[in-house]
């Protein structure tokens, strides 16, 4: 039997879960990732004194399969439980509403407003990657090929059962028997809507942006909290970027990550970084009620597609006789868990099409 060749576009949690699942049954998998790193919004940025988790801050699990995955990651030292001392404000609309998916708590760059908390601690178990968030994907990495810094711009049918991929550097790859696209919804739609009208529902998915500020203070920020949830109308999340050491509160520089609210991020989407930094630090100063220490360093990152506000409503979407599949957290809702589930179900659907 000829080797079945699969292309996976996107090396976040959904894409890598799909790739790992298909690799385990013997398919030849190639992953294409537009960035230099892996993990998508499970992102960390290294500095000379540590790292910033400037994407998703933590993950939770209600699905037994994903819970088992986190336990496996914990055993392999790529995840750890996180119990921050948490200050809770109110979300930007003044109402904390139930989560869409079994009332599960959600990470920032997911939907922080829906987090279940009791007192100053979270009710549910929160997990972080160890030593940084992008390590959460390590149990999924295997010997399949990962091509970094390859932005796929076109999927071209090649006969009734195969596909060629083209990137922005005039590279061509294939043929592939099947393709899974796990990019953010707008980028997935741009790739797939020329192929089939079956992918048109992706256009109805709504994803919000998020400005993230990474700031290191020369001295510890004088607050009793490790994390603040909706402390102000401008900020949906502010937290020390955990380094997983015992003397964290006395360590300097003191690194914090701020995430702007979706509406603030929309309103200031095209602001330059310096303006964003100035405004969000002023909001942090007001929200914390303390004088901010001197800055050691500060930077900002714009996530254009940060979290899902209106999901697709199903775990994946297929077309081209089941050989091209769209997947991602935006299919079911804005959580790392839903990305994992979407990648898993997309892989199983492709397996059913190709091998029965």
Residue 308 has, within 13 A of its CA and on its CB side, a CA count of: 27
pTM of the model: 0.88
**Which pLDDT does position 93 carry in this prediction?**
42
- pLDDT given for residue 112 in this prediction: 37
**Position 153 pLDDT exceeds 50:** yes
- Confidence class of residue 2 from pLDDT cuts 50, 70 and 90? confident
pLDDT over 90 (residue 94): no
pLDDT exceeding 90 applies to what percent of the chain? 74
Given this model, what pLDDT does residue 216 score? 94
Long-range CB contact pairs, 199-206, < 8 A, 24+:
199/317, 199/319, 199/326, 201/312, 201/317, 202/312, 202/317, 202/326, 204/310, 204/312, 205/308, 205/310, 205/311, 205/312, 205/330, 206/308, 206/309, 206/310
Q: How confident is the model at residue 104 (pLDDT cuts 50, 70, 90)?
A: very low
Q: Which residue has the higher pLDDT, 254 or 99?
A: 254
Average pLDDT of the residues in 179-201: 97
Span 157-183, pLDDT tens digits = 998 899 999 999 999 999 999 999 999
Q: Are 306 and 209 in contact (CB under 8 A)?
A: yes
Residue range 31-64, pLDDT digits in tens: 999 999 999 999 888 888 778 999 999 999 988 9
Residue 22: its pLDDT value, please?
Answer: 98
Architecture per CATH, domain 5-38+141-204+314-355, reads as 3-Layer(bba) Sandwich (3.50)
What tens digit of pLDDT does each residue of 225-260 get?
A: 889 999 999 999 999 886 554 444 456 789 999 999
How much is the mean pLDDT over the chain? 88
Q: Of the candidates 77, 105, 75, 113, which has an alpha carbon nearest to the alpha carbon of residue 237?
A: 113
Instruction: List pLDDT tens digits, range 265-302.
Output: 999 999 999 999 999 999 999 998 899 999 999 999 99
Name the CATH topology of 45-133+206-309. Answer: Polyamine Oxidase; Chain A, domain 2 (3.90.660)
Q: Average pLDDT in the 8-17 region? A: 97
pLDDT of residue 51: 84
Task: Give residue 305's pLDDT.
Answer: 95
pLDDT, mean of residues 64-89: 91
Give the domain ranges of the chain. 5-38+141-204+314-355, 45-133+206-309
pLDDT tens profile 106-118:
333 433 333 444 4
Residue 77: pLDDT band (50, 70, 90) is: very high
């Amino acid at each position: 039997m000829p080797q079945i060749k699969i292309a996976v576009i996107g090396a976040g949690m959904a894409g890598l879960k799909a790739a790992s699942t298909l690799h385990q049954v013997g398919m030849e998998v190639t992953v294409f990732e537009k960035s230099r790193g892996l993990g998508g919004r499970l992102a960390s940025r290294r500095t000379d004194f540590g790292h910033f988790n400037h994407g998703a801050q933590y993950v939770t699990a209600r699905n037994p399969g994903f819970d088992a995955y986190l336990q496996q990651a914990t055993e392999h030292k790529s995840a750890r439980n996180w119990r921050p001392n948490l200050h809770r404000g109110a979300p930007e609309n003044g109402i904390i509403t139930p989560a869409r998916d079994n009332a599960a708590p959600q990470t920032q760059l997911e939907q922080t407003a829906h987090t279940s908390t009791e007192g100053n601690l979270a009710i549910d178990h929160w997990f972080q990657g160890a030593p940084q968030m992008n390590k959460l994907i390590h149990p999924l990495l295997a010997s399949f090929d990962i091509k970094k810094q390859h932005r796929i711009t076109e999927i071209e049918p090649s006969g009734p059962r195969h596909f060629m991929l083209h990137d922005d550097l005039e590279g061509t790859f294939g043929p592939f028997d099947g393709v899974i696209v796990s990019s953010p919804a707008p980028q997935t739609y741009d790739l797939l809507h020329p192929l089939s009208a079956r992918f048109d529902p992706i256009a109805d998915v709504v994803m919000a942006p998020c400005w993230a500020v990474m700031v290191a203070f020369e001295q510890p920020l004088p607050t009793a909290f490790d994390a603040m949830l909706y402390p102000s109308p401008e900020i949906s999340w502010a937290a020390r970027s955990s380094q997983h050491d015992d003397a964290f509160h006395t360590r300097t520089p003191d690194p914090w990550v701020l995430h702007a609210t979706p509406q603030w991020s929309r309103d200031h989407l095209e602001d330059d970084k310096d303006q964003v930094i100035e405004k969000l630090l002023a909001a942090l100063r007001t929200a914390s009620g303390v004088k901010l220490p001197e800055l050691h360093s500060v930077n900002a990152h714009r996530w254009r597609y940060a979290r899902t506000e209106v999901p697709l409503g199903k775990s994946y979407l297929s077309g081209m006789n089941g050989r091209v599949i769209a997947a991602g957290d935006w299919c079911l809702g804005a959580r790392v868990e839903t990305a994992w589930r979407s990648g898993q179900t997309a892989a199983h659907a492709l397996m059913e099409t190709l091998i029965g």
